[in-house]
Chain A
Amino acid sequence: MDARILLVEDDPSIREVTAIGLGSAGFAVTTAVDGVEGLERFRADPFDLILLDIMLPRLDGYEVTRQIRRTSTVPVVMLTARGDTMDVVVGLEAGADDYVRKPFDLPELIARIRAALRRAGTTADDVEELRIGNLVIDVAGRSVTRDGADVPLTRTEFDLLEELVRHAGQVLSRDVLLDRVWGYDYLGDSRLVDVAIQRLRSKVETDSTNPELIQTVRGAGYKAVR
């Protein structure tokens, strides 16, 4: 089945040509012209990925992301313009998984979308369980439980946790994490990693200001405790 993408973009030309480009790349694209309509579409139908402009009339992309995150772990990729006063960090903190700078080439956008979908769709065949602290990570079921209680993670957060726990005790640099989790082969934005780590800690650590499971190694990267 083709991946279903919700494209929320207010500029008609960009919206139309992006829909055409994604359509010819094999995606099923639904479009919305502003944040409010975007949320309505998101609630009406299931999507595999949300492509979200930041500067939207009525309801901006940050707020749309926050609302989506209340009920869903669907991958959200932001479309941001260079020079926007609001930083992408705000979007990442709201729960977005990745971002693409405007202007973008369609092949570039498609590559980012595929990377996000690949992460979201990863299903291990073998039944495997990873443990860290009092967390149990069900790799196949893509779920995390603490003492039997479900810990809701977005797909990016889950992948990040899985990557760190699989290499527990080893320091993984931001570049390595960008490569393995986000699929950037050359110099992505290290803030993606920092913000995702911060969100992940707020969910899995007992005290996120004093992290015990995922530690920062100054100047080098992050590591999960063994």
Chain B
Amino acid sequence: MIRGVRARLTATIVFLVVLTATVLGLASYVFVDARLHQQTLDEARDQARFDLSVLAPQILGEQPTPASFAELTAAFHFRTLKSIIVPVGGLPISDPSSLQGTLDSIPTSVRQFVDGGQIAYSWQTVDGVPSLIVGGRAGGTGPEIYLIHDVSALQQALDQLRLALGVGALILAIVAVVAARLVARGVLAPVDEASRAAERIAGGDLSARVPVTSTDEFGQWAARFNRMADSLEDTILRLEAAQTQNRRFVADVAHELRTPVAALVAEASVLGAHLDALPFEARRTGELVVHDIGRLRFLVEDLMELSRFDAAGEEVRLQAIDLGRLIRDVAAARLRDAVLELPDDRVVVETDPRRLERIVGNLLDNAREHAPGALVVVRLRSTVDEVRIAVLDRGPGVPPDRLGRIFERFFMADPSRRGGSGLGLAIAAEHAALLGGRLRARNRDEGGLEIELVLPVTQPLPDGDAAAISRGDAENR
């Protein structure tokens, strides 16, 4: 858009400059052209008057003879004038003789004026030379005399003027383009600055501001832009502080709960071993206590895990992992009934097995809670640059408008359902991000939810001998 404004501004300025130059150039050319022609004509006419009324009658006398015609022609020739003399009732005498046909090219109106005893003229090209022909009759009634003036000098002067004006206009146009661009840039510089500042703010640099360099409209505008940025920065920093505080509070709570929960878990496991010795009511209550302590334990552990992500103190420990084996192991531990769709070939990638286990385990837990008792499929696919592990269930799915939120903390697709902490998918998503991958969810056409982990395979395997290593591992098992 700015580019467009700059171009329009430049074009307008250049157009105005070129228009002015053209009008001025044309006007001065027309003026000079008219003046020069007029001046030449005046001189030629004055000369002709003298020649016709004084010189010609004097040389030709009453009865012109061929000798007197030749003398007159020589007199004209001496003044470098070409001439055509048409004796009354005789043949035209041309000097030089190459002008023989020229008489016919003189406009009839001129011939008629001359015939009537007046002086007449014509601008025309004679023998390829721009010329002025002035005609009249010697002494008013004698032979017609046409004097041909060479005006190529005049024409050359006009040509040079045209060239000079043209070149001048071109230079002016170029200067105008350069100047207009500079002007446009100068005018639009504040817009560029603001654009860059806005881009930096959009990119997360909240401290970006526009320099206020003037008090004009742009200056005021820059000041307002900066006030807006101030308030934006302020608001975002306050929100961030609030979120940090919020997360720290959750982390502190989880941390403080840790020791009592550890005690409760140990106590529950001892209590659980002796439930049979209790009377019925106490036994049932005891079972519930053990069960609920288990839930409390997983909730606190999930909170602790998320708090560690927030503290950004997580390290990723990569090793070569056979994904098929990992999936089989996790499924065996978390959801025995899951159907595994694994490729025939081994898929070995460099990744952090603990995090991957957490992700796959949490996805399986989610599928189990989302669709209790229904068929769950774990599918592994690999391409050259990524591997995909999908967990597909046959549950009710998630309404499309809430699908994007299922990786948020404490989000429950169905708030009435109990079970899970609401943190499992959020934790899985954090682990996926640490592994450089991502989770995505979609409702399956045939019903149910599909959550897919996409992991890029960018890490070159150590020494390129991954397959050999994996085989060695397998033999050792």
Query: Residues of A with Cβ closer than 8 Å to B?
Result: 11, 13-14, 17-18, 20-21, 24, 81-83, 102-107, 109, 171-173, 175-176, 186-187, 190, 218-221
Q: Does B265 lie within 8 Å of A176, measured CB to CB?
A: no
Number of A-B contacts (CB under 8 A): 89
Given contacts A187-B354, A219-B320, A219-B469, 17 further A-B contacts (CB under 8 A): A17-B266, A17-B267, A21-B270, A81-B258, A81-B259, A82-B301, A103-B264, A103-B266, A103-B301, A106-B269, A107-B269, A107-B273, A171-B472, A175-B477, A176-B477, A219-B319, A219-B466
Count residues on chain B whose CB falls below 8 Å from chain A CBs: 36
CA distance A220 to B477 in the complex (A): 12
Shortest C-beta distance, B294 to chain A (Å), equals: 9
- From A14, A17, A82, give the contact of B304 (CB < 8 A): A82
Q: Does B416 sit at the interface, judged by CB under 8 A?
A: no
CA distance A102 to B258 in the complex (A): 8
**0/1 per residue, B221-261, Cβ < 8 Å to A?**
00000000000000000000000000000000001001111
Q: Does B260 lie within 8 Å of A13, measured CB to CB?
A: yes
Q: Does B34 sit at the interface, judged by CB under 8 A?
A: no
Task: Decide: A176 near B262, CB < 8 A? Known: A20-B270, A21-B270.
Answer: no
- For A24, the chain B residues whose CB sits under 8 A away are 270, 273
Task: Decide: A103 near B297, CB < 8 A? Known: A17-B270, A218-B463.
Answer: yes
Q: Does A83 lie within 8 Å of B307, measured CB to CB?
A: yes
Main DSSP-derived SS at the B contact region:
helix
State the 8 A-B residue pairs at the shortest beta-carbon distance, nearest first.
Answer: A103-B265, A13-B263, A103-B262, A106-B269, A105-B269, A102-B262, A21-B270, A17-B267
Q: Does B473 sit at the interface, judged by CB under 8 A?
A: yes
- For A172, the chain B residues whose CB sits under 8 A away are 476
- For B329, the chain A residues whose CB sits under 8 A away are 186-187
- For A81, the chain B residues whose CB sits under 8 A away are 258-259, 262
Which residue on B lies nearest to A217, using beta carbons? B472
Q: Does B219 sit at the interface, judged by CB under 8 A?
A: no
- For A176, the chain B residues whose CB sits under 8 A away are 476-477
Which residue on A lies nearest to B255, using beta carbons? A83
Task: Decide: A104 near B270, CB < 8 A? Known: A83-B304, A171-B472.
Answer: no
Q: Which of B263, B267, B308 has the most CB of A within 10 A?
A: B263
**0/1 per residue, B270-303, Cβ < 8 Å to A?**
1001000000000000000000000001000100
Q: Does B104 sit at the interface, judged by CB under 8 A?
A: no
Q: Does B465 lie within 8 Å of A17, measured CB to CB?
A: no
- For A190, the chain B residues whose CB sits under 8 A away are 319
- From B258, B465, B473, B476, give the contact of A83 (CB < 8 A): B258
